Amino acid sequence: MEQTSEKVNKNRMIILFSVVLMTFMATLDGSIVNVALPNMAQKLSVNTESIAWVVSSYLIVISGSILVFGRLGDLIGKVKIFKYGIILFTIGSLLCGFSNSFLLLIVARCLQAIGASATMANNQGIITQVFPSNERGKALGISGTFVALGSMAGPPIGGLIISSFSWKYIFLINVPIGILVFILATKNLPKSKKVLDEKLDGRGASLFAVSIVTLFISLIVGEDYGYDNPVIFAGLAISVATFVVFIILEKRTEDPLLQLSLFKNRLFSLSIFCAFISFVSISSSMIIQPFYLQNVLKYSPALTGLIMIVYPLVMAVVAPVSGHLSDKIGSEFLTFIGLVANSAGLFLMSTLNEHSSILVMVIYIVIMSLGNALFQSPNTSLIMANAPRNMLGISGSVNALIRNLGMISGTTLAILILYNRMSTKLGYHVSTYISGRNDAFIYGMRGAYLTAACISALGAILTALRLYKIRKGKTMETNK
């Protein structure tokens, strides 16, 4: 087993800082390039459709490889894989910053994603290993805060860098931070020792990668070409087929990539499913907001960025508090209240129209973000607390994978509903905002928000049932 020494106990906060800083950089790089894409397309002489792969390739590689790195963390040590990840992410960032061709940029971006995947797969496992149960919720809450900040602070930070420097500094800024994190990790993280005397399931890893990569490519490309396109449909079919084969193989393999016995724990499975639901609902909101603010309300990009940064700011304040509360009063009640508030915020967002004020909208966003902040940290604590000690790496990587799947699924679902309802309202097919027809956009936006609210409400119902069963069980034990 990996040993937690007295030195590690004394340096827990430095360890947490190292882990969350790397987590922040890895998630930040998923969104920071968005604002720079037009400039990058011009400088690299590629079209808008092609340059979008700078974002998509990063997300796809992380999702396709994250279970492998989680499993490797359990096999040869979470800290060792985490440090390898820092090195690859930093080298990938350096190569991105020196890329003068589109092909080299995509290759470097994939290398960067492999490094990010290795760190994200093992960050929660390291925190769970280092922090005792009475401090774990708060620590995971801080980690969750940095995930939220990294995911949502990308566009404002990217805009600031682009306005003052070349787009290359979006990547080069990672290099000194990566070096700092590696030094801190080397000095303070517990020494890695081999954990399990098992082999990596290569066939399972390959099948899983094919399934996830074809799924993501089909979902992303399908937004432009339509999901009824035969090629897109074939891609989705291949994804489903390979995933089914993957599950069958994992049941028969002696040392599987993914221990399906993990999901026999109902609390673990329900917490993972609720995490997926929360990311679907919140990403549905995040993808629509900038279009509503700029196209319908005619706000400037700067004002739009200020309004959208309310969400991560609330998360930054509340998530550590909710994590601390989960250590004191338990996680079940907080996850229930969080999903109820998130659902209420999404329902309220569906009432917005072209005459809504900034104040009203900010209040709705605060309610929504409060709910998500109350939910995320306790739910992550539940996931990791219900994972076997020798499966912390794979459990953390499953949680990170679910986050990515939830975000891409939520984005795809929101766009589908938005344009489907807009097309119904206008009487012809549309796939973009129609100038002068704010009514059609509001109609489509309302449908997307109501759908997201219902999905979140489903999670609230499931957590309520979980809370009821747990309390009923405790009452029965007391009566005995």
**Closest by Cα among 32, 440, 459 to 282:** 459
CATH superfamily to which 262-480 belongs: MFS general substrate transporter like domains (1.20.1250.20)
Q: What is the mean pLDDT of residues 107-129?
A: 89
**Residue 85 pLDDT exceeds 90:** yes
**Residue 15 pLDDT exceeds 70:** yes
Give the tens place of pLDDT for each residue, 238-250.
999 999 999 998 8
Give the tens place of pLDDT for each residue, 418-428.
888 888 888 88
Give the tens place of pLDDT for each residue, 38-78.
678 888 888 766 777 887 788 889 888 888 898 888 888 88
DSSP state of 197: -
- Bin 436: left if φ > 0, else alpha if -120 < ψ < 50, else beta: left
- Geometric angle at alpha carbon 287, from 123 and 428, rounded to 5°: 150
- Average pLDDT of every residue of the chain: 82
Handedness of CA 410, 413, 419, 424 (dihedral sign): negative
CA dist 444 to 17, 279, 292, Å? 42, 20, 11
**Residue 462 pLDDT exceeds 60:** yes
Q: What pLDDT, on a 0 to 100 scale, did the predictor assign at position 195?
A: 62
**Residue 431 pLDDT exceeds 80:** no
392, 394, 396, 401: CA torsion to nearest 10 = -170
In this chain, the answer to whether the domains covering 1-199 and 262-480 adopt an identical fold is yes
**Residue 449 pLDDT exceeds 80:** yes
Q: What is the mean pLDDT of residues 313-327?
A: 79
Q: What pLDDT, on a 0 to 100 scale, did the predictor assign at position 4?
A: 47
Q: What is the mean pLDDT of residues 11-30?
A: 85
Q: What is the mean pLDDT of residues 264-281?
A: 85
Residues sharing a CB contact under 8 Å with residue 291, sequence separation 6 or more, in sequence order: 433, 441
Distance CA 107, CA 113 (A): 10
Minimum mean pLDDT among 37-51, 199-213, 455-469: which range? 37-51
Handedness of CA 441, 443, 445, 447 (dihedral sign): negative
Q: What is the mean pLDDT of residues 443-452?
A: 92
Give the tens place of pLDDT for each residue, 171-182.
888 899 999 999
Q: What pLDDT, on a 0 to 100 scale, did the predictor assign at position 298?
A: 85
Q: What pLDDT, on a 0 to 100 scale, did the predictor assign at position 429?
A: 80
What pTM did the predictor assign? 0.77
Minimum mean pLDDT among 21-25, 227-231, 367-371, 457-461: which range? 227-231
CATH architecture of 1-199: Up-down Bundle (1.20)
Handedness of CA 274, 275, 281, 282 (dihedral sign): positive
Minimum mean pLDDT among 37-41, 125-129, 274-278, 377-381: which range? 37-41
**Residue 319 pLDDT exceeds 80:** no
Q: What pLDDT, on a 0 to 100 scale, did the predictor assign at position 194?
A: 58
Distance CA 118, CA 80 (A): 10
**Residue 3 pLDDT exceeds 50:** no
**Residue 289 pLDDT exceeds 60:** yes
Using a 10 angstrom Cβ sphere, with 0-12 exposed, 13-18 middle and 19 or more buried, the burial of residue 7 is exposed
Please state the domain extents for the chain.
1-199, 201-256, 262-480
Q: What pLDDT, on a 0 to 100 scale, did the predictor assign at position 2?
A: 43
Q: What is the mean pLDDT of residues 336-354?
A: 92
Q: What is the mean pLDDT of residues 340-367?
A: 92
Q: What pLDDT, on a 0 to 100 scale, did the predictor assign at position 475?
A: 63
Residues across the chain: 480
